[in-house]
């Protein structure tokens, strides 16, 4: 029995141009005189009308929308200008051919051809950096995959949607699609199947990147409880993938979040584990992060002696790799030891804003003689 695949999705709101705005059509309908290779408004309408005369109504609607969109760009003086999207004869032919091929295949129940046509359109717009329209066609691919119950197609569509939303910096939507992608990969994985295991590892790696960004957004908003929940998912992915570097990073980030919430006792558990992992991995920069974070954490708990011990270890380790500048200055309460990093530590660019080594720090040492050595 043939399967009829209906049109799906909603028209996207275009945010990025296909081509540079200088290739826009002029309002007189005869194209840009500086770019004679671009289609005029008359050319666009004629191609659309030809599709309609074939009785391909859905293709006509989609094509008319795609070639008559308006791009917004900012001029040198900061003003926004809206101009019709520019498109070459080769581009309009590509769009027409794949839209009409998809509609004809849909009428014949050829789901595979429908999916492939929409996927080519999605890839085309992604390559043009028009991610929003790429998402529109990837969503059509996903709907078709689910209607036809084709799990291979569904895997591809979910992964592509996750990557597209990641490119748009819509990380929560990227998270939803990558989580569904990983769940489906795991469901399909046969015991001991090498290819499936590799696919699962790749899916976890993609999802981990998304979790990093989602957690960063929560941290920026000081939503530390939610950030910890996402970091916990990141940590689980790393543990299942046996990615020891990310396992360590997950412990560090959770510890920093607990510190930001003034819960140093909870932070200690994760930061101590992080220190052990960094030593096992030979990550000296990570050790510096751990020592400094633990010094700050113990100070917050009122254990100044232990804070000093970790601070000394930090200074010894940091001086070995030449990444710290240290000085001692008198203060009303005694002497303060101040330090700051010459370069950023690792953490793969994800050290949160409260991380000890991201800015100059001070730790009260109590009253001591000038010239104290550590």
> What are 266's two structure tokens?
């909870």
In a domain, 370, yes or no: yes
In a domain, 95, yes or no: no
pLDDT at 195 over 90: no
Q: Average pLDDT in the 267-289 region?
A: 94
Round to whole Å and give the CA distance between 154 and 137: 13
pLDDT tens for each residue of 294-304: 999 999 999 99
Of residues 11, 13, 14, 10, the one with CA closest to residue 128: 14
Of residues 189, 237, 181, the one with CA closest to residue 209: 237
pLDDT tens for each residue of 142-169: 999 999 999 999 999 999 999 999 999 9
Round to whole Å and give the CA distance between 361 and 374: 17
Round to whole Å and give the CA distance between 186 and 275: 32
Confidence at residue 282, expressed as pLDDT on a 0 to 100 scale: 93
Number of domains in the chain: 1
Contact 160, 190 (CB under 8 A): no
In a domain, 114, yes or no: no
In a domain, 147, yes or no: no
Confidence at residue 81, expressed as pLDDT on a 0 to 100 scale: 75
In a domain, 315, yes or no: yes
DSSP 359: S
Whole-Å CA distances, 213 to 73, 113, 346, 373: 28, 36, 16, 41
What letters, b where the CB count within 10 A reaches 16 and e where it falls short, cover 252-271? bbbbbbbbbbebbebbbebb
In a domain, 256, yes or no: no
Of residues 92, 19, 37, the one with CA closest to residue 62: 92
pLDDT tens for each residue of 291-349: 999 999 999 999 999 999 998 998 888 888 775 544 434 444 433 444 444 444 444 33
Count of C-beta atoms within a 10 Å radius of residue 6? 9
Band of pLDDT at residue 28, cut at 50, 70 and 90:
very low
Round to whole Å and give the CA distance between 19 and 239: 43
Round to whole Å and give the CA distance between 140 and 62: 12
Round to whole Å and give the CA distance between 296 and 291: 9
> What are 189's two structure tokens?
């994985």
Contact 162, 20 (CB under 8 A): no
Beta-carbon contacts of residue 190 (< 8 Å; ≥ 6 apart): 196
Band of pLDDT at residue 251, cut at 50, 70 and 90:
very high
Q: Average pLDDT in the 206-232 region?
A: 95
In a domain, 329, yes or no: yes
User: pLDDT over 70 for what percent of the chain?
Assistant: 74
Least confidently predicted of 169-173, 200-204, 244-248: 200-204
Host domain of residue 372: 281-374
Q: Average pLDDT in the 253-277 region?
A: 95
Q: Determine whether 186 is exposed, middle or buried from the number of CB atoms within 10 Å of its CB (0-12, 13-18, 19+).
A: middle
Round to whole Å and give the CA distance between 121 and 91: 11
């Amino acid at each position: 029995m043939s399967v009829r695949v209906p049109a799906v999705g909603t028209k996207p709101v275009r945010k990025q141009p296909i081509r540079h705005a200088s290739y826009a059509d002029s309002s007189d309908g005869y194209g840009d005189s500086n770019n004679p290779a671009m289609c005029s408004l008359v050319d666009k309408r004629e191609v659309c009308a030809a599709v309609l005369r074939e009785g391909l109504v859905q293709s006509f609607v989609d094509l008319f929308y795609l070639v008559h969109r308006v791009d917004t760009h900012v001029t040198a003086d900061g003003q926004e200008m809206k101009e019709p999207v520019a498109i070459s004869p080769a581009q309009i032919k590509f769009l027409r051919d794949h839209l009409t091929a998809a509609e004809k295949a849909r009428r014949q129940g050829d789901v595979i051809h429908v999916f492939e046509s929409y996927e080519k359109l999605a890839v085309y717009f992604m390559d043009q950096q028009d991610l929003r329209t790429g998402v529109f066609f990837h969503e059509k691919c996903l709907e078709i995959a689910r209607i036809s119950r084709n799990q291979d197609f569904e895997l591809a569509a979910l992964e592509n949607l996750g990557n597209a939303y990641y490119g748009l910096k819509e990380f929560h939507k990227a998270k939803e699609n990558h989580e569904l992608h990983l769940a489906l990969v795991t469901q399909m994985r046969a015991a001991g199947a090498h290819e499936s295991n590799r696919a699962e590892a790749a899916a976890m790696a993609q999802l981990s990147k998304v979790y990093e960004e989602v957690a960063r957004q929560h941290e920026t908003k000081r939503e530390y409880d939610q950030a910890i929940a996402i970091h916990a998912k990141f940590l689980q992915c790393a543990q299942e993938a046996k990615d020891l570097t990310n396992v360590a990073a997950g412990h560090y980030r959770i510890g920093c979040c607990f510190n930001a919430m003034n819960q140093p006792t909870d932070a200690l558990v994760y930061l101590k584990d992080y220190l052990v992992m960094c030593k096992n991995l030979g990550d000296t920069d990570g050790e510096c992060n751990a020592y400094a974070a633990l010094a700050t954490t113990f100070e917050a708990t009122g254990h100044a002696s232990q804070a000093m011990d970790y601070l000394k270890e930090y200074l010894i380790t940091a001086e070995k790799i030449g990444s710290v500048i240290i000085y001692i200055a008198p203060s009303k309460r005694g002497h303060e030891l101040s330090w700051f990093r010459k370069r950023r530590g690792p953490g793969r660019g994800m050290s949160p804003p409260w991380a000890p080594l991201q800015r100059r720090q001070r730790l009260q040492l109590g009253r001591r003689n000038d010239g104290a050595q550590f």
